[in-house]
Structures are given as structure tokens and as C-alpha cells.
Amino acid sequence: MGAPTGEQAVTLPVLVIGAGLAGTVAAARLQARGVPVRVLADRPGATLLHGGGWQLGPDALRESHPAAEAALDDALDFVRIGLESLALTEGLFDLPDVEGARRACELAPATHAVVDGFGKGHAVADLSPLGHPFAAMQGRGTVVTVEWPPYPDVFGRSFAAMAHRLEADPTEPARLIEALKRALKGTRHDALLLPPVLGISRTEALRRQVAAALGIPVGEALDALPSTPGFRLHAALTAWLNAARVPMQTARVASISLDPLGVQVGDLLVPARAIVLATGRYLTGGLTMHPAVREPLADLPLTPSVPTNPLWHARTDGPYDGRVFETGVGHDPGFRALGLDGRPVHPHVYAVGDLLGGGDTLTQASASGMCIASAWVAATTIADGFATGEKT
Amino acid sequence: MGVLSGPWTWKRFRSFAYLAIAFNRRQARRLFLGRKDDGGVERFLENFAAEGMAPLSAGETELIFSLSKCTYCGICEAVCPLPVDRWPAFSRALEHARFAAEDLPPSCPPECRQCETLCPTGVPLREIPAFVRRSGAARRA
């Protein structure tokens, strides 16, 4: 099998590996530009752990990824319009405050700002047995104990489990409203702050239903993992890809081949016009730490480079500088993955999202912005090349 | 690097000498008396099996390694239809397996793969109940 040329190259799809935030944005952008695209993923990845805030971190992007920073506004508009056109943004880009108005939420700690937006006259629902961490943290409002849910099987689990339960059972919202009414009986409050339990994909409808029944505005705070907002984001991204009719396949990619260009799935080499690596970092296997720090699919060099076994290094050879959390795949301004010589390993292999090195997403809080902007730029580069390539 | 690096103190030298003597004595016994096994495995199990240190097959070692990828994010618990709230706990602490085995829910519905498809680190969650039952039974025995 030779290198794809001519007509064959035009009909081959771009393969996006990974269906998290970066993979989804890349695929949706390519599809919007009319480029045949296919998503390969075996699970949603770290997007499910998203805290609900959009950690854009433009300052961090400016320092380490100028190409992403320059495109951030366009990229964000693309995502915002894409999700809004499907009525998917509710509860994602921002959080409802007491007035029902939307408060931009750029960082996860902005949850506190939402809580601040509530006057002192609001009630904070303490859902037994999980309580309400933000109520204790803020020391504002009045905590009311709500006897919900009545199920032993979600006791001691999480608000996310309650949110799943509330959405799965159509009779459950009415029972929650009843419990809230009982808890608020005989008291006067301006508003009600709930933990994030109002469903996964029908959040706004549920919120309105509860608010209408209680006669006061209802808001939701964020929470620790497992994060209800993470589930909501994942549901929205999946819905976005489905609505855009992007073909998705559940597949575990073993490696990628540069010549001919394609990805290895089991015994099968799936040929591709271009490949977008959106595989994340250590958590989701985009980078491995055992037995060595490396990029497992194409063995791309990492930047900044780290000792192949950083933990061993840390124990034996003096202080460890912590760069293992900053390392990742290098990229050119079009987000092609770089090889050892500092030039793209292949003109059609791209790396986007958390897989990229140069910033510590844990401390710089730039993960979401990085995913959106890099995926958007890479998809645009591919689509532009595709358009000119077809003409010539 | 390894056991041979570091300063050679008298104590250390003596330890290695004892090891060498024991090794040679054992080899000599096997050679001249034809004793293949001196009951070391039985004695080891007697001492340590109660603490969960029973021998594992290669497949089980592999499984334990993949279970250790758990980050305690709790996503599996949030979507699990079974009344069990300790999936992450089951993935570690082998010595607790015999207690956990008594606490296990009925086995997973065969078609439900919610937890495994959503686990960000790819922990083979559905294999945990069978593994815990198996090793729990082994610990009790």
C-alpha cells in the first residue's frame, strides 16, 4: 500500500483520536468545514472530570502557546455557537444566579462568586446524607435540611449519582420538589441554592420546574468529583457530535503509522488523510509514565524533555524539578506534532489538547482553553490545506 | 544501583555471607540428598496468607496493576445501578478481600458497561467482583 495520492487522498477521512473536549472541537470544526472526519475513541477521558468552570487561562496560553492564544476568541465563539445552536450550553458556560441571569464562570473557584451573588436571605439545601460543602465554606445563607433522596442505593455516593437518578426517573423531580417544600415550609427565603443534582442533560428544564414550583429562583453550586458538570459537558459534547453527524467509533488505537499514514486498531490499519492526536495526558493514556515517560502511539519526542523514569530519578539523583507535569508533545504554529529534529514528524499529523507540552495544566488552569484553541487551529489548518489541495 | 551499591559495612558483609552460606547449603542438599522442596512455600503461606499475601497468578498481577490506575474520581459509583458504594475501595487492599467478598452485590448485569466505558483511566471495573470473590475465598481457605 503506497502513500495515498490523488482521488484516494481526497476521500480518506481525517482521523481524530480521542473524544474529549479537544477531539470533539477538532471533529466538529472539520465537519463544519466540509472535511470528511471520523472520531476514534474508547472512552470519554478526562472531560468527565471537568469541574464545570471553563478554565481558559489566556495568560498561560500567551506564554506557552501563542498560536492558541491568538485563536482563542474565534475558537470559543465556534464552540459557544455550536453548543448554543443545539441549546446545549445551558449550565455549561456559566451558572445561573439568583435572578436567573447568567454569570460567566471562567474558573472553577468562580463557584464562590455565584454563591456570593446570593444575598444573605437565601436558603442552602443540605441534601442528606451528603450535606453541602459550599454552605459550610461560605457561612452565608440559611442551611435547610432536605429529606431527599429516599433511596438507600445512592446514599453515601455523590451529587452526580443523585443527578443521574433525578433524570432517569420521571417521577423523581416531583418528589424532590415535595421534599424541598417540606424543608422550606414556614420560612421565607429569597432564593434556593442546590448542590449540582438537577440532572445531566435536562438541567435547565429541571431548574425552571423546581423554581416555578417553589416560587423563588433556584441556583446550583459546583462540587468536587465525581463532577456533575463533567457529566453534563460530556453529554453535551456527545450530543454535539451526533447532531453534526460526525461518525464515531469505539476503538482502542494501538499505534499510528506514518508511512502509509494511518492508525493501527487491532490487526487493522485504518488509512487516513490526516491524524489528530487528542489523547490527553497521563490520566487518559496520552502519555504513559510506566515503564517510561513517553507518547505511546507514535513515540513522539516530549518537550520539555524529562528523565524517562522521573520517579526513579527523583529518588536517586537529587531533587526532582517537577517538569514531568509540564511535558508533552511539541507543536508548530499549525499544531503539527514535532519530531526530534524540531520539524513536523509528518505534514498531516497533529497534536492538540492536553497532550501538548509547555504548560502545567494543573497549576496554570489552562486546560479547557488550550483544548478548544489548539483543536480549532489544527482543524482550521487541515481544512485550509484540504481546500487548496483539492484545487491543485 | 540496587542491592550491591552503597558502603560495605561489616554488618552488610555478614548478611551477604549468611545468604551465601544458606544458598550453598540448600544447593548441596538438593544435589546430595535429592530434596527438591523443603516446605518453604507452605511455611510462607502459613505466615503471610492471613495478611493477604497469598501467591497471585501472572494474570492477577496484571489485573492488580490495571486496578491501581484508579484515581478515586467516583464516576463509576455515580453511574452504577447496583447498590454498592465502594468500587474504588475494592480495587486495592487485598487483605480486606475476604471481608469485601461477603459485602459484594449480586454480579453486574451482563449488558451494563456504564462504569467501564466512562472510566477515564480504563480500569477493568467489571472484573473486580469476580476477583474479590476469588481472592476472598482464597484468603479464607
- Residue A226 to residue B85, Cβ atoms within 8 A: no
| Residue among A17, A56, A61 nearest A286 (CA) | A17
Cα A112 from chain centroid? Answer: 21
- Residue B73 to residue A226, Cβ atoms within 8 A: yes
Q: Does A18 touch chain B (CB under 8 A)?
A: no
The pLDDT score that the predictor gives to residue B112 is 85
Q: Does A370 touch chain B (CB under 8 A)?
A: no
Q: Give B27-46 pLDDT, tens digit per residue.
A: 888 888 876 667 777 887 77
- Mean pLDDT score of chain A, rounded to an integer? 79
Write the CB contacts of A19 (distance below 8 Å, at least 6 apart in sequence). A27, A39, A41, A44, A45, A237, A238, A241, A248, A278
- What residue in B sits closest to A230 (Cα-Cα)? B75
Nearest CB among A156, A231, A283 relative to B71 is that of: A283
Please give the average per-residue pLDDT across A246-266, as a whole number.
93
Nearest CB among B71, B82, B122 relative to A285 is that of: B122
Are the C-beta atoms of residues A215 and A181 closer than 8 Å to each other?
Answer: no
- Residue B119 to residue A43, Cβ atoms within 8 A: yes
Q: How many CA atoms lie within 13 A of A369 on its CB side?
A: 28
Q: Does A231 touch chain B (CB under 8 A)?
A: yes
The pLDDT score that the predictor gives to residue A232 is 86
The pLDDT score that the predictor gives to residue B93 is 59
Ramachandran area for residue A23 (φ above 0: left; ψ -120 to 50: alpha; else beta): alpha
Please give the average per-residue pLDDT across A224-229, as a whole number.
79
Confidence of residue A248 (pLDDT cuts 50, 70, 90): very high
Confidence of residue A107 (pLDDT cuts 50, 70, 90): very low
Q: Does A104 touch chain B (CB under 8 A)?
A: no
pLDDT over 50 at A379, yes or no: yes
Please give the average per-residue pLDDT across A145-171, as a whole number.
82
Give me the residue spans of the domains in chain B: 57-140
Mutate to test the interface with B, among A151, A158, A237 (most CBs of B within 10 A): A158
Are the C-beta atoms of residues A16 and A37 closer than 8 Å to each other?
Answer: yes
pLDDT over 70 at A108, yes or no: no
A 265-304 → B contacts, CB under 8 A: 283-285
Helix (H, G, I), strand (E, B) or coil at A12: coil
Q: Does B83 touch chain A (CB under 8 A)?
A: yes
| Residue among A241, A171, A240, A159 nearest A200 (CA) | A159
The amino acid that residue A237 corresponds to is L
Neighbours of A347 (CB within 10 A): 12
Q: Give A283-320 pLDDT, tens digit per residue.
A: 888 998 877 888 999 999 988 777 666 555 555 455 55
- Mean pLDDT score of chain B, rounded to an integer? 77
Confidence of residue A244 (pLDDT cuts 50, 70, 90): very high
pLDDT over 60 at A128, yes or no: yes
- What residue in A sits closest to B84 (Cα-Cα)? A153
Please give, rounded to a whole number of angstroms, the shortest distance from the CA of A1 to a CA of chain B: 33
Question: How far apart are alpha carbons A183 and A132 in whole angstroms?
Answer: 15
Q: Is the peptide bond before A291 cis (omega within 30 degrees of 0)?
A: yes
CATH number of the domain enclosing A184: 3.40.50.1860
Mutate to test the interface with A, among B66, B70, B85 (most CBs of A within 10 A): B85
**B-chain residues near A284 (CB < 8 A):** 120-121
pLDDT over 80 at A84, yes or no: no
What domain count does chain A have?
1
Burial class (CB in 10 A: 0-12, 13-18, 19+), B5: exposed
* Residue count (chain B): 141
**B-chain residues near A158 (CB < 8 A):** 74, 77-78
Please give, rounded to a whole number of angstroms, the shortest distance from the CA of A357 to a CA of chain B: 20
- Residue B78 to residue A160, Cβ atoms within 8 A: yes
Q: By residue range, what is the domain housing residue A125?
A: 95-225
pLDDT over 60 at A342, yes or no: yes
Q: Give A7-56 pLDDT, tens digit per residue.
A: 555 579 999 999 998 999 999 999 999 999 999 998 887 888 876 655 55
* Higher per-residue pLDDT: A238 or B46: A238
pLDDT over 90 at A89, yes or no: no
Within a domain: A235: no
Report the DSSP pairing between strands A302-303 and A328-329.
Answer: antiparallel
Neighbours of A3 (CB within 10 A): 10
Least confidently predicted of A59-68, A348-357, A374-383: A59-68
Please give, rounded to a whole number of angstroms, the shortest distance from the CA of B133 to a CA of chain A: 21
Nearest CB among A157, A226, A285 relative to B85 is that of: A157
Write phi, then psi, for B99 (nearest 5 degrees).
-75, -40
Report the DSSP pairing between strands A37-41 and A261-265.
Answer: unpaired
The amino acid that residue B96 corresponds to is H
pLDDT over 90 at A347, yes or no: yes
Q: What percent of chain A has pLDDT over 90?
A: 30
Q: Does B117 touch chain A (CB under 8 A)?
A: yes
CA end-to-end distance (rounded Å), chain B: 40
**B-chain residues near A45 (CB < 8 A):** 120
Within a domain: A74: no
Q: Does B126 touch chain A (CB under 8 A)?
A: no
